[in-house]
Amino acid sequence: MKLLILIPAFNEEGAVGSVIGEVHAAMPGVDVLVVDDCSEDATRHVARAAGARVLSVPHHLGLGGCVQAGYRLAFELGYDYVIRVDGDGQHDPRDIPNVLEALEREQCEMVIGSRFVDGAQGQTSFVRAMGIHFFRAVLRPILGRPVRDPTSGFVGVNRTALALFSRSFPLEYPEIEALVVLQRKRFRFVEVPCRMRPRRAGRSTITAVKSLYYIAHVLLGVMVNVLKFEGRRK
Amino acid sequence: MDRLMNVVAVLSALLIVLVLLSIRRAHIRVEYSGSWLAAGVLLLALSRFRALQDWIASTLGLTDAPLAVLMVAGSLFLVVLYRSSMVLSNLKDSNIALAQKVAILEFQIGSLDEKVKATAR
């Protein structure tokens, strides 16, 4: 079983080193790949010094493009499972074994580390909480089942989902749209409890002002993915 | 009204000249100039032929022929802008795929390089 821990990072020099250290402590010997989204700081050097391999994209692609680059490489290198952990320290790498265990046990295509299922610990801002409630309601009829934490970036995928996402993955705010992409293929996902922490360093790319744009963009993206013609993208 | 149509004719001629100059200087590719040239030629023709203006106005149910010309002009520019958005979207998709491919190839070259150095030691 080949497992890759994928860490997308953009200007995360203050946090990415400790995240990699925690991943190695939680999962000794596992491969760690940092996808550096053309950071202007020392993210890639810090990541290398902490023992990760670094995939550097030549210009800023945004979160979706950056994660998809990692998925593409993982697929080409033959990994069976990829678990994505954010580079800002908000996800607790001690939960990685739970995500992996769920991927193997449930035989589903994707596992979401959720801060809202039983036993999870984590707090979120009021604006984000409202957004989560809104998208839960939007996604419920599309997915045909509830999803508690649709904005979580702490996700594990198996090789089947990896093959799909390496071909077709939402490019800007991918978490919610990825669920719709998954649903189109009738793939399954489960949620497992996980801890979410405040970010260690740096600033979130989603500010209060951008939240409305985020909601409009993701809503449009969800609708487009529901109606998407599969043959367009190669 | 004649003055307005003269202005439309001059602007259309300017658009055509500008596009042709842009093609000559390679600022715009030939395949993307077609829609702008077609829009310019159509507007120039519309501004010069009163019978054509009247026919479009009556077809659209308008009493004012110049208003019909402006509606056609607006619609043409919307179509051209829509086409540009499609081209831009395709270019962005291709650009992202290319950037990802370059990054993956660099990664693999780096990995091979490390293996060669490790073997040489």
Q: At CA A190, angle to CA A188 and CA A196, rounded to 5?
A: 140
Q: Are A79 and A3 in contact (CB under 8 A)?
A: yes
pLDDT surpassing 70 at residue A60: yes
The per-residue pLDDT for B16 is 95
Q: Are A197 and A122 in contact (CB under 8 A)?
A: yes
Domain assignment present for residue A234? The answer is: no
Among A53, A57, A233, beta carbon nearest to B103: A57
Backbone torsion region of residue A82, taken as left when φ is above 0, otherwise alpha when ψ lies between -120 and 50, otherwise beta: beta
Residues from chain B that touch A56, judged by Cβ atoms under 8 A, are 103, 106-107
Could you read off the pLDDT of A61-74 as tens digits, one per residue? 999 999 999 999 99
| B105 CB within 8 Å of a chain A CB | no
pLDDT surpassing 90 at residue A200: no
Residues A111 and A99: their CA atoms lie apart, in Å, by: 6
Closest-CA distance, B116 to chain A, in angstroms, reads: 17
Q: How is residue A193 annotated by DSSP?
A: E
Average pLDDT, chain A: 89
Could you read off the pLDDT of B10-47 as tens digits, one per residue? 999 999 999 999 999 989 888 889 989 999 999 999 99
pLDDT surpassing 50 at residue A232: no
Domain assignment present for residue B38? The answer is: yes
| B114 CB within 8 Å of a chain A CB | no
Q: Are A15 and A39 in contact (CB under 8 A)?
A: no
| Interface list for chain A against chain B, based on CB atoms closer than 8 Å | 53, 55-59, 61, 65, 68-69, 72-73, 76, 171, 233
| B94 CB within 8 Å of a chain A CB | no
Domain tally for chain B?
A: 1
pLDDT class of A196 with cuts at 50, 70, 90: confident
SS (H, E, C) A100-123: HHHHHHHCCCEEEEECCCCCCECC
Could you read off the pLDDT of A161-193 as tens digits, one per residue? 999 999 989 887 899 999 998 888 889 999 999
Residues B115 and A11: their CA atoms lie apart, in Å, by: 29
Residue of A nearest to B107 (CA): A55
> In CATH, what number is assigned to the domain containing residue A75?
3.90.550.10
Domain assignment present for residue A217? The answer is: yes
* Order of strands across the sheet that contains A81-84: A53-56, A31-36, A3-9, A81-84, A155-158, A110-114, A189-193
Residue of B nearest to A53 (CA): B107
For A131-188, the DSSP string reads HHHHHHHHHHHHHTS--S-TT---EEEEHHHHHHHHHS--SSSHHHHHHHHHHHTT--
Model ipTM value:
0.84
What is the pTM (predicted TM-score) of this model?
0.84
For A40-71, the DSSP string reads SSSHHHHHHHTT-EEEE-SS--HHHHHHHHHH
Residues B72 and B53: their CA atoms lie apart, in Å, by: 10
**What is the span of the domain harbouring residue A221?**
3-227
Domain assignment present for residue A141? The answer is: yes
**What is the span of the domain harbouring residue B35?**
2-87
Could you read off the pLDDT of B47-74 as tens digits, one per residue? 999 898 899 999 988 888 888 888 888 9
Q: Are A120 and A194 in contact (CB under 8 A)?
A: yes
Q: Contact B106/A69, CB-based, under 8 Å? A: no
Residues A217 and A224: their CA atoms lie apart, in Å, by: 10
Q: Contact B104/A69, CB-based, under 8 Å? A: yes
Residue of B nearest to A77 (CA): B108
Could you read off the pLDDT of A11-47 as tens digits, one per residue? 999 999 999 999 999 999 999 999 999 999 999 999 9
**B106: three-class secondary structure by DSSP:** helix
Q: Contact A61/B93, CB-based, under 8 Å? A: no
Residue of A nearest to B109 (CA): A55
Domain assignment present for residue B119? The answer is: no
**A189: three-class secondary structure by DSSP:** strand
pLDDT class of A214 with cuts at 50, 70, 90: confident
Averaged pLDDT for residues A72-92: 95
Domain assignment present for residue A233? The answer is: no
Residues from chain A that touch B93, judged by Cβ atoms under 8 A, are 233
Q: Are A117 and A102 in contact (CB under 8 A)?
A: no
Q: Contact B99/A69, CB-based, under 8 Å? A: yes
Domain assignment present for residue B14? The answer is: yes
pLDDT surpassing 50 at residue B4: yes
| B112 CB within 8 Å of a chain A CB | no
| B107 CB within 8 Å of a chain A CB | yes
Q: Which of A33, A35, A11 is nearest to A20 (CA)?
A: A33
Q: How is residue A196 annotated by DSSP?
A: B
